[in-house]
Amino acid sequence: MMKLTKNYWEERYKKGEVAWNVGEITTPIKEYIDQLTNKNIKILVPGAGNGYEFEYLIEKGFQNSFVVDYAETPLENIKKRIPDLDNNQIINADFFELEGKYDLIIEQTFFCALNPELRKDYVQKMKSLLNPKGKIVGLMFQFPLTAEGPPFGGSKEEYISLFQYDFNIITMETAYNSIAPRANKELFVIFEKK
């Protein structure tokens, strides 16, 4: 399987090979954020690409939000759109080397962009980044896992087997409000750290 290096992602952005880029926050995540009331929680959006979820959080007053991506180009795009951000909120790093503790991590199909060999490592890294009772909330793809990708697929059964020991699975259901190209291909998930 191809190694998805920093250079790989940088080249995809520079060439505009970003078919996953919707150009705005997706409805399921927007609707989840809209019902959050505590604006002080510490939020991370990993593998955020152009960071529309992050931008929406900032617009809605969640100032304690952070974004991390391997590639610099999408982070530069975020800085152009939100020029008065604190630079500490935009982290150019490997997710697996990230430090810190968060109350909420927004999952916008980042999991399915990673080499599937890293899925167990992802679960453990998420566990280490979350405060007690912290949550992973967002979207994961539900279509057969393939060697072709990213995105790589996955299934409800696989996600349960990966997350059940470290997280309470609060919600995992087909998103009813996906954007049209992703209809019936996304699971909306809420996992709470045990």
Tens digits of per-residue pLDDT, 99-124?
999 999 999 878 988 888 999 999 99
Single out the residue of 118, 117, 91, 86 nearest to residue 102, CA to CA. 91
Residue 77 DSSP class: H
Ramachandran assignment for 26, one of left (phi > 0), alpha (psi -120 to 50 degrees), beta (any other): beta
Share of the chain above pLDDT 90, in %: 58
Q: In what order do the strands lie in the sheet with 65-69?
A: 90-92, 65-69, 43-46, 102-108, 130-141, 186-193, 167-174
Give tens-digit pLDDT for 153-185.
899 999 999 999 999 999 999 998 887 777 888
Q: Is pLDDT at 138 greater than 50 in this prediction?
A: yes
Q: Indicate the range of 7-11, 92-96, 126-130, 166-170 predicted with least confidence.
A: 7-11
What global pTM score does this model have?
A: 0.86
Question: How confident is residue 24, by pLDDT bands cut at 50, 70 and 90?
Answer: low
Lowest mean pLDDT, pick from 57-61, 75-79, 90-94, 101-105: 75-79
Q: What is the DSSP track for 150-188?
A: SSP-B-HHHHHHHHTTTEEEEEEEE-TT--GGGTTSEEE
pLDDT value of residue 86:
85
- Contact yes or no for 189/139 (Cβ under 8 A): yes
Confidence of residue 11 (pLDDT cuts 50, 70, 90): low
Give the pLDDT score at 17: 47
DSSP 3-state of 52:
helix
Torsion (CA) 72, 84, 103, 54 in degrees, nearest 10? -60
